[in-house]
Amino acid sequence: MRLLIVGFGFLGKSLVKAIRNKIDLLKSVDHNFKIIGVADSKGYLYSSKGLIIEELSALNRLSEHKEYKTSETAAELISKDLCDIIVEVTPTNIINGEPGLTHITQALKNGIHVVTANKGPLVLAFKQLTSLAEKNGCDLLYEGTVAGAIPVFSLVRECLQGDKIVKLSGILNGTVNYILSRMHFEEISFEIALKEAQERGIAEKDPSYDIDGIDAACKVVILANAIMGRNAKLQDVERIGIRGITQEAISLAKKANYAIKLIGTVDKKLEVSPKLVPINHPLCVHGTLNAIHIQTDLAKEITLVGHGAGKETVSAILNDLITILKKRSPEDKNP
C-alpha cells in the first residue's frame, strides 16, 4: 500500500524515523508498502516508486531535498488518488480544524484510509468524518489523538466488545500533571512549577491551552464521541484549569493523603477540573504520565497508564497504520 504523510513537524519527522527502524516489520505485513509522498505546509516530495526512507529520515526540513516541489498543496496531492493511506499530522487547530479537516475530508471522499493524531478535525467534525469514512468504506483511525501511546481506542474496540462503557476519567495532559506533581513533591508555587516546565520544554511559551484545560477538554470530546457514541462539542465540556491551585491547597490535600490532579471525565456530563485523588488510586500518577480509568458493566475497572505526548505518540500512529495494512493488504488491494 502507498502512504502519504501530511505534516513534517516534530511528529512527522519522528514517524519517518520510526518507519525507517520498523520497515522490515511493515514489509512483512505488506511487501508492497512504500512512502510515496511527504508534504509540509509549503510543498512536497513525491515518487510513485517510493521515496528513499534513509534520505527522508536524514532531513530536518523537506525543502532540503533536491526533489522538493512547491507546485501543489497537500490537499491537491490527496485529491489526485496517488496513495492508499494518509497519515495526517499537521498541527492541531481547534478554531476551524484546518488544514487537517480539509486533508482528512478530501482523503475519505477519495476512498483513502486515514490515520491521524490531529485533534482539531475530530473535535469539530467527529460525526461527519466517521460517517464519511463509513460511506466510502474507509478506515479512520485516531489512537494518537488522546493520551499518546495509551491504546484506549484499540482496547475498547478489540478487547471490550461485549462491555458497556459506563464512565471514563483520566489525566489527559502531561504538562499539567508535571506542574501539579512538582507542586506536590517539591512544595513550590504554581508560578515556579510552570516556569520550570517551560524551561524544560514541557510547557509552551503560551501555556494557556494546557493549564486552562482546553487540551484535556478536546480529548474528553473525542473520548465521549468515539467510545460513548455522543455527539459532543467543545462547548459541552465544563472546564476549570489549574491557575487557581495554590501551594496551600496542595499541602492540605497531601496531609489528608490526596493529590490534586486535573481530571477529564466522560459521564452523564463532560468535565475537566481539578479533583482530589487518593494517593493510592490507580489514577494518581505523577510527572508527565497520563492515565485513563475505564469503568464498564462486565470488566468493571481498568486503568491504563503511559506517556501522553511527544515521540511516544508515534507508537499509536504506527499501530493504526499496521492495523490498516493488516486489514486492507495485500493481494486484493492496490499495490
Q: Which of 100, 2, 5, 14 is nearest to 49 (CA)?
A: 2
Residue 24 makes CB contacts below 8 A (sequence gap 6+) with none
CA 235, CA 110: separation in Å to the nearest integer?
A: 31
- Catalytic choice (13, 34, 119, 219): 219
Residue 88 makes CB contacts below 8 A (sequence gap 6+) with 6, 7, 100, 103, 104, 107, 114, 115, 116, 117, 118, 121
219 is catalytic: yes
Using CA atoms in the order 237, 175, 312, 111, what is the torsion angle rounded to 10 degrees?
Answer: 30
CA 333, CA 316: separation in Å to the nearest integer?
A: 24
Backbone angles phi, psi at 250, to 5 degrees: -60, -45
Tell me which DSSP letter residue 277 carries.
Answer: E
Residue 326 makes CB contacts below 8 A (sequence gap 6+) with 29
Element (H, E) at 30: none
Q: Which of 55, 123, 48 is nearest to 81 (CA)?
A: 48
Catalytic residue numbers?
Answer: 219
